[in-house]
Structure 1
Amino acid sequence: MPVRLDDIMSLLCHMSEQQKMKAAVKHSAKGALVAGAGAFLGGLVGGPPGLAVGGAMGGLVAAWMTSGQFKPIPQILMELPPVQQKDLCDRVFAIVRNLDWTDATHLITLVSSNAILQQNVAALLINFVTQELRAEIQYGD
Structure 2
Amino acid sequence: ELRPATMTIIVEDIMKLLCSLSGERKIKAVVKHSGQGALVTGAVAFIGGLVGGPPGLAIGKAVGGLLGAWVTSGQFKPIPQIITELPPAEQQRLFNEATHLECTDTVQLTTLVMGSEALQQQLLATLVNYVIKELWAEIQYDD
- Do they fold alike, i.e. is TM over 0.5? yes
- Aligned pair 1:7/2:16, yes or no? no
Over the matched positions of the two proteins, sequence identity in percent amounts to 37
Counting only pairs closer than 5 Å after superposition, residues 39-58 of structure 1 correspond to structure 2 as: 39-40=48-49, 43=52, 57-58=63-64
Q: Which structure has the larger Rg? A: 1
Aligned equivalent of 1:23, options 24, 30, 34: 30
Instruction: Report the number of matched residues.
Output: 133
Aligned to 2:121: 119
Indicate the structure whose relative CO is greater, using CA pairs within 8 Å and at least 6 residues apart. 2
Contact preservation (8 Å) 1:39, 1:58: no
TM superposition shift of 1:24: 0.5
Query: Gaps spanning 5+ residues in structure 2: where?
Result: 1-5
Contact preservation (8 Å) 2:30, 2:139: yes
Q: Normalising by structure 2, what TM-score?
A: 0.63
Aligned to 2:130: 128
Q: Normalising by structure 1, what TM-score?
A: 0.63
TM superposition shift of 1:100: 7.6
Q: CA RMSD in A?
A: 3.8
- Aligned pair 1:81/2:82, yes or no? no
CA gap 1:117/1:95 in 2 versus in 1, 3 angstroms: same
Mean alpha-carbon deviation: is it higher for 117-126 or for 88-97? 88-97
- Aligned pair 1:137/2:138, yes or no? yes
Counting only pairs closer than 5 Å after superposition, residues 93-112 of structure 1 correspond to structure 2 as: 93-95=99-101, 97=103, 101=107, 107=110, 110-112=112-114
Query: Gaps spanning 5+ residues in structure 1: where?
Result: none
CA gap 1:7/1:100 in 2 versus in 1, 3 angstroms: closer
Structure 1 counterpart of 2:90, one-letter code: Q
